[in-house]
Structure 1
Amino acid sequence: MLPFSAKTEQVDRCVTFVTFPDVKLLDITGPLQVFADANIFLGRTAYSTPIASYYGGPVETDAGVLLNTRRLAGIGLDEDDTLMIAGGLGVFPACRDLRLVQAIQRAASKAGRIASTCTGAFLLGAAGLLSEKRAVTHWRYCDQLADACPETEVDADPIFIEDGRVWTSAGVTAGIDLALAMVERDHGRDLALELARSLLVYVKRPGGQSQFSEALKQQKRSATGRFDALHFWMKDNLTADLKVEALAERSGMSARNFARLYTDDTGLTPARAVEQFRVDAARAMLENPNVSIKTVAGQTGFGNDERMRRSFARLLGVTPQAYRERFAVEMADSL
């Protein structure tokens, strides 16, 4: 692979990944691969990526893979460097390890950028680094993070959040998006897009994009899971007849019984759920500036752009055009 040809800032940066027993392997390897590939594109070691733990030595991940780590206190960090805390189920006992928490506090006082992937946010919180900050973690743990860190504004929706020098990301693969955003900040958008294409991400998702789809939201909202299969069929058939009568027939119920049971189970009427599915799909399509708004409306079941505009205004408080202006991303070239 040829070195990346764009002019970039000649600053060597250290991104230190903090681990602990039962850390989630992908929380480390996903972002780490972004920085390693950035070195290949740049043709030099722009990023060093040590993996650290409190004691150093081998640390077993949740996948059973052993990582050879360095002692966190032995890694020198400065204002050009990043301290990145990984997540995983092991983060909860790690939060009770006072020595590790204090070591993170000391390292964070030197680093210019502090970050977490997934539930690594809990360790940032335990170290007092999320106080008066806006943060995100995996949607399943957002309420728990809000309880653990009452001085933190926890936003359950975005893929990642940057608040000053503190960056937090949602579940697992969102750490890749976080790392791409950091590379863009350090070396420019062109390199970040090249990396996205190389990693088969195709587009570099903006941090404000929702971390889970409407189908997953409905699963979380459902009390019984009775309509999960219907939700995923709806997601894939947005231009079909999704009126109550058609959905009821597909569910093997009368229209009246279906509407009652569906609303009791999900807290939404079938019509509002259909609208939310269509808005969710339209949001994703609008992030591609090469697709016209009229095409988006047609392919997501709205029928026309005026109907889509009304739904966006009702559910999101913005027009489709305003949403596109905020979240459209430059599409990487075809592979």
Structure 2
Amino acid sequence: MRTIALLLQPGNNAFDVGVAIEVWGRDRTEHGVPPFELRTCARTREPVALESGLQAVPTHPLAGLAGADLVVVPGRKDWFAPVDEEVSRALRSAVRRGATVAALCSGAAVLAEAGLLDGHRATTHWLLADRLAVDFPDIKMETDALFIGDGPLWTSAGTAAGIDLCLHLVRLAHGSAVAGTIARRMVTPPHRDGGQRQYVDVPVPPVRPPAPSIAAVQDWARDRLDSAHTVAGLAGRVGVSERTFARRFVAETGVSPLQWLLAERVRRAAELLERTDLSVDRVATRCGFADAGVLRTHFRRQIGTTPAAYRRTFARSG
């Protein structure tokens, strides 16, 4: 995934446009990131008016989508503004050619207008999801996910979830080390746990005395992934009951403690497969799995391939 086409439309969210430029538009080859070609494409070569009076000057017309490995569709300030039919045709053509298409935030409405999401799983900002589900009932809307991929089509939730999706696409194409390098330059987590339910408006809870940070327990566990952990043991570090700890953990992260721990172990395994020549058995032990078979099961479930195949694709020579 080296050629990226960023689709510009009037009223695009400047943040979404900026995220794509930050991820794929900067030269980070000196830090081990492969070179990318970022094309900014629009119906004409005239400056495109973004939200808040900003402008973006396209480098390509819509024909620039041809040959792109990935097409990024930013959200728009007016979520339900009509989509130019020429734009819709260009998106449908990109999908037919085999390109991956990723909609950030309300960009999902653009894909829906183009007829691309019918019959597919998708997500979008939680404020938009219900309206999109009513207007396009054939979309399999999932309102909690930060991002969803269904075939070549990817959609993400609110603004910051666009960062999550873009880094995930980098990770799929180039490995977790490259995604991690870009994330560090952006000063953002390379991966966030949980879904967008944790960000939906809810009544403000009563003020209570501050508890030791869940993040501190996560940091402690990350440094000891090769050790056995239980919810009771983690709760003990916070000084609360197991039930209270589990409830607070889900409230802060969107996943249970054991789900988070499993994801961290798989993520650490991917890093070791990329950066070391340790056997799969040794990687499993280092990450807290009982044996290589257990690692393979969870690795395939979360990453979509085997540890050996992942290493062949992403291992760093030298």
Q: What is the Cα deviation at residue 158 of structure 1?
A: 1.6
Between the aligned partners of 1:133 and 1:284, the Cα distance in structure 2 is 39
Counterpart for residue 205 of structure 1: 191
Q: What is the Cα deviation at residue 25 of structure 1?
A: 0.5
Between the aligned partners of 2:15 and 2:197, the Cα distance in structure 1 is 18
1:289 paired to 2:222: yes
Give 3-state SS (helix, strand or coil) of 1:118's partner: coil
Counterpart for residue 26 of structure 1: 15
| Residue in structure 1 matching 2:37, options 48, 61, 65 | 48
1:132 paired to 2:65: no
TM-score, with length taken from structure 1: 0.66
Between the aligned partners of 1:168 and 1:319, the Cα distance in structure 2 is 24
Q: What is the Cα deviation at residue 320 of structure 1?
A: 2.7
User: What amino acid maps onto 1:200 in structure 2?
Assistant: V
Q: What is the Cα deviation at residue 93 of structure 1?
A: 1.7
User: What amino acid maps onto 1:81 in structure 2?
Assistant: D
1:145-156 correspondence to structure 2 within 5 Å:
145-156=132-143
Give 3-state SS (helix, strand or coil) of 2:127's partner: helix
Counterpart for residue 114 of structure 1: 101
Q: What is the Cα deviation at residue 150 of structure 1?
A: 1.0
Counterpart for residue 242 of structure 2: 305
Give 3-state SS (helix, strand or coil) of 1:69's partner: coil
Q: 1:66 to 1:81 in 2, by over 3 A?
A: same
Give 3-state SS (helix, strand or coil) of 2:102's partner: strand
CA contact (8 A) 1:22 1:90 kept: yes
Q: What is the Cα deviation at residue 112 of structure 1?
A: 2.1
Between the aligned partners of 1:307 and 1:68, the Cα distance in structure 2 is 52
Provide the identity percentage. Answer: 24
Give the number of the structure whose alpha-carbon radius of gyration is greater. Answer: 1
Between the aligned partners of 1:71 and 1:36, the Cα distance in structure 2 is 15
Between the aligned partners of 1:88 and 1:327, the Cα distance in structure 2 is 34
Q: What is the Cα deviation at residue 289 of structure 1?
A: 2.7
Q: What is the Cα deviation at residue 63 of structure 1?
A: 2.5
| Residue in structure 2 matching 1:61, options 44, 47, 50 | 50
Between the aligned partners of 1:310 and 1:81, the Cα distance in structure 2 is 42
Q: 1:320 to 1:102 in 2, by over 3 A?
A: same
Q: What is the Cα deviation at residue 103 of structure 1?
A: 2.7
Q: 1:319 to 1:54 in 2, by over 3 A?
A: closer
Between the aligned partners of 1:118 and 1:171, the Cα distance in structure 2 is 5
| Residue in structure 2 matching 1:77, options 66, 69, 72 | 66
Q: 1:210 to 1:282 in 2, by over 3 A?
A: farther
Between the aligned partners of 2:247 and 2:49, the Cα distance in structure 1 is 52
Give 3-state SS (helix, strand or coil) of 2:148's partner: strand
Deviations 1:220-264 (A, max 9, x none): 345xxxxx3x45x45xx4539xxxxxxxxxxxxxxxxxxxxxxxx
CA contact (8 A) 2:73 2:102 kept: yes
Aligned residues: 261
Q: 1:126 to 1:198 in 2, by over 3 A?
A: same
Counterpart for residue 76 of structure 2: 88
Q: What is the Cα deviation at residue 53 of structure 1?
A: 1.5
Question: What value does the CA root-mean-square deviation take over the aligned residues?
Answer: 3.6
1:103 paired to 2:90: yes
